[in-house]
Structure 1
Amino acid sequence: MKKDRQPALPKVDERNFARLGIVSVQTRLDDEASRSWNSAFEIAGRSFGVAAEAPHGRPRGIDTNVVIGIESLFAARSCPEDNRLHTTAYELRAASFLPLNGKSFHRLRESLDRLWYTSVTVTDGWHLPDGRKLRNVKRMRLINDLSYWDIDGHDSFETTRELVPNATLTIQLGTQMANSIRSGFTQALEHKILTGIEQPPARALYRLLEAHRYADTGEQRRSLAVGLEDWRLACGITDGKPSKTLRALSEAHEELVAQGYLRDVRVGGSRATTALTYEFASLDDPDPALVRLLVESGVAAPAANKLAKEKGDRVEEVVRYVRDTLREKPGSVRKPGGLINDMLQRPEKYVLDARPSASGAEARREESQARLRTAEDEAQQRTESERRELLAAPPQVQWERTRRSLKLLLGKQLTGPQWDALERACLSGQMFAAALLQDLSAAQARLELQAFVDDLRDRLG
């Protein structure tokens, strides 16, 4: 009996998380109703299915900011091979476009918890010539491991706890999310647009539009037409009425037009088949030949467009170098697209007339461990340098830069008069705020915080 001919499998690139609508563009959702969801939608001829479990509620609102912050810091650390990002809540807050206040550190903790608890099953589909549908299925988490220090907020409720700003924060990204960043999907967002946007929904919509704007060939679309119901599901908007979907998107549309990202947004079709057409603002097009060269070498389409535009004079040299390396030492470069991306973004790290020597599992493991040690050493040196600089600063500067952290640690431990006395002592130089914060953190780590605070109360009278 003749066997059915198996369909040829399409090449599946590292999944672009932004396409999947995991983070809703809405800022408020009913936690009970959003703890699990199942959606299927089609955008630009590509079908997606997302089934998710989120015990702390679906990621939403500022969670887009936090995801962008994580992606930016992970890329800035050259995408560590163990997928671990070592940072601080203070640094992640800044990368996530959040203001510097205690509320931000509370919201950051809530956001990280929501992202950690969310697990997703994704299906990505193609239509075959014989009418059947072929699917690729991925089961994934956004964050695999999460470690942080938190502290009581302004009351005794567990839900108000805040991250300690300068304490170590470690995030291990899920494999697919980390690989998506390595492939360059998330590094094409324009910083000027991100910082110009005022509200999280507009930032979430910008990220989603950029994800769907590029064809797999690297082509950058001038416009994107989407069915309103498919787009509602991609955006994570819960109410299915067309009028409410349009209302939920209207302010984000206005912001993106004002930022010069969109030229126009048109609504068309009938009541039953409403559609949106996004017209992107005209930007200087990169050389299409360079874009094709980068995409064929494994660079994701969004990053290929940006690199061809910004690093066009070096693209051919770098691609030729990586291809020569692969030809001379097959298997020595596991992710050519990621290496090309990094070489173009950070040329100071590479000498092109020398070939990488790593080959085999043992060499790759040693290289990974060396990169991890280097990243940790750099982070430690940066932290030590900042600490020494702060310790040498005038008393008034020390107080201004540590006051919020001291308030987080001591706000509930000291009376109003005692806090006022502490402020006078630090401003006058009788005490040094930076050294006090350092000693407080050490006492907390040794589980001796209460004894330290009791001694401080005695010193303050």
Structure 2
Amino acid sequence: MPERKPRRSAGTPPMPEITSGYDELNLGRLALISGQKTVPITLRRWQKQVTTPDGRPVIITCTVPEDQVVPHGLDNDFMVGLVNLCFEAGLPDGPFSVSAYGLLKASGFPDSAQYYRSLEESLVRLNKASYTIDEGWFVQGPHGWTTQSFAQVSYLSYARSRAGVQGTSVVTVQLAPPVMESLRAGYIKPLDLNFYRGLSQPLVRAVYRQLDALHFDESTADGLVRELSAPLMAWGNRLGLLSDRPDNVVRTLTPAHEELQAKGYVAAVEITGRGRDKVVRYVFGPPPQGEHPDLAALLTARGVKQGVAVRLSTVFPERIEEAARRFDHYLKVSLRPVGNPGGLLVAMVQRPEDFAELPGYSQATAPEGTPPRKAKAGRTTEESIQESDAYVAQEEERLAALNGTDLVDWMLRQLSVLGILKHFTVPERTRLAEAVLEGTLDGRHLVRAATRAMVGGAPAIGAVVQDVRAHL
């Protein structure tokens, strides 16, 4: 007999359909949940090595209690649902609650008894599974790659009847602190939930999620990776495939490859080599357009990389037009040439509070409830220049007062915007931060030198990098 759907009471609030969403980049890239639909019931621990986009080897360990099995299959989908519901809840400091029906819909599943059972089992696994990530969890700031130990769902509470979890059951969760910190810091990427949910199997969705996380890379010329290659066995291990036979890994991945090609996400998949030396190569399809191509176009027209523009226009659509207006105004009144216009505009989108008071700027639109700033009538060019000079002096005073980790954060942020930071290895970045903290290197002087070097092109930039290395 077909399963009956559990009744949903009239009191269950309708759940809005979430079609455009986000993925936390660490979760997307590290693939903490096996993509396999099922795993052996005795599998309570695994350890794997993955590589970060900048080539760092990372060891990840997952362990669960004796009465559990490691997260797998649909657990990926429920975690994606939780991340996006957390955004809908406003990234709260503590736990947030949702109906089981709401979580089911946010995860892309039908309202049936089968999926309510899967939901309960997944939540328990996500709460019970402990992960240790050895220097592979990225944190915005001077430390970069960190070691973290956590459960993806650090707190879990839910109500159930004798029949199990029902649509009206209230589920209360809190995501792991490092996940929340990363979400608040904006270390996220757009995730096309319509496309994601339209994929047929957990493994197809896991492959897509992994590829999509690696597709966005701000270190490339346009913010997007055009193709991706990896040793086949390492790629299978990254996705949580348990087989150690290359032919089995190829056989397992083939349906996912065929589906992603049929949908146009990847233009080609090639597997070359013999035996355990096989390599898989993905060629991505047309660049993603995002939910707001017009907003992305505002950014790219002003020098922002395409991949970055897609990400920002999806994550912060309400900020783009105002940031573009502020950016255009800044270029007109600035007494200094802007070495990295795209980087400046990205900063204006990500941290609008840092650019709240631009000289001579009258805010065209303001958030609801914010009193508009009064425009000064009859402003002359001389007055604008004087106000601009005052603004520069105020900024110099603010920078002079920075010290300790605040100075390190500012320096790293500026070097990243200028495109200088990518020339240093991760250990060098750590030593750079330590040198500034110890006072053996002047972070302000370094940023000024890097800014001047932008005019001289690659040779001047290389000279600055070598000079810094000599002091580390």
* Over 6 Å off, 4+ runs: 291-295, 299-302, 308-311, 347-350
Going from structure 1 to structure 2, the CA distance change for 1:240 and 1:214 (only over 3 Å counts) comes to: same
Q: CA RMSD in A?
A: 3.5
Matched residue pairs, number?
A: 305
Q: What's the offset of the Cα at 1:224?
A: 0.9
Residue 167 in 1 paired to residue 174 in 2?
A: no
1:39 equivalent among 43, 48, 64 = 48
**Tell me, which stretches of 5 or more residues in structure 1 are unaligned?**
1-13, 127-133, 154-161, 330-346, 355-461
1:255 match: 259
**Tell me, which stretches of 5 or more residues in structure 2 are unaligned?**
1-23, 138-143, 290-295, 327-346, 358-365, 374-472
SS at match of 1:71: helix
Residue 139 in 1 paired to residue 149 in 2?
A: yes
SS at match of 2:269: strand
1:26 match: 36
Q: What's the offset of the Cα at 1:179?
A: 2.7
1:283 match: 287
Q: What's the offset of the Cα at 1:180?
A: 3.2
2:353 match: 325
Q: 8 Å contact 1:290–1:308 — kept in the other structure?
A: no
TM-score by length of 1: 0.58
1:358 match: none
Separation in structure 2 between the aligned mates of residue 273 and residue 139 of structure 1, nearest angstrom:
33
Aligned AA (1:253): H
1:97 match: 108
SS at match of 2:311: helix
Separation in structure 2 between the aligned mates of residue 206 and residue 291 of structure 1, nearest angstrom:
29
Going from structure 1 to structure 2, the CA distance change for 1:187 and 1:328 (only over 3 Å counts) comes to: closer
Separation in structure 2 between the aligned mates of residue 283 and residue 87 of structure 1, nearest angstrom:
35
Aligned AA (1:192): N
Q: What's the offset of the Cα at 1:116?
A: 0.4
SS at match of 2:182: helix
Q: What's the offset of the Cα at 1:104?
A: 1.1
Q: What's the offset of the Cα at 1:89?
A: 0.3
Q: 8 Å contact 2:98–2:171 — kept in the other structure?
A: yes
CA deviation map 1:56-86 (0-9, x unaligned): 211111111101111111112221122x221
Going from structure 1 to structure 2, the CA distance change for 1:348 and 1:147 (only over 3 Å counts) comes to: farther
SS at match of 2:92: coil
Q: 8 Å contact 2:30–2:50 — kept in the other structure?
A: no
Q: 8 Å contact 1:291–1:305 — kept in the other structure?
A: no
Q: Percent identity?
A: 25
Q: What's the offset of the Cα at 1:269?
A: 2.5
Aligned AA (1:190): D
Q: 8 Å contact 2:189–2:213 — kept in the other structure?
A: no
Residue 57 in 1 paired to residue 69 in 2?
A: yes
Q: How does 1:34-433 map to 2 (within 5 A)?
A: 35-42=44-51, 44=53, 45-55=55-65, 56-82=68-94, 84-124=95-135, 136-153=146-163, 162-217=164-219, 219-283=223-287, 303-304=311-312, 306=314, 313-317=321-325, 319-320=347-348, 323=351, 325-326=353-354, 351=370, 353=372
TM-score by length of 2: 0.57
Separation in structure 2 between the aligned mates of residue 270 and residue 352 of structure 1, nearest angstrom:
67
CA deviation map 1:315-368 (0-9, x unaligned): 435854875633789xxxxxxxxxxxxxxxxx96685957xxxxxxxxxxxxxx
Q: 8 Å contact 1:228–1:274 — kept in the other structure?
A: yes
Q: What's the offset of the Cα at 1:283?
A: 2.4
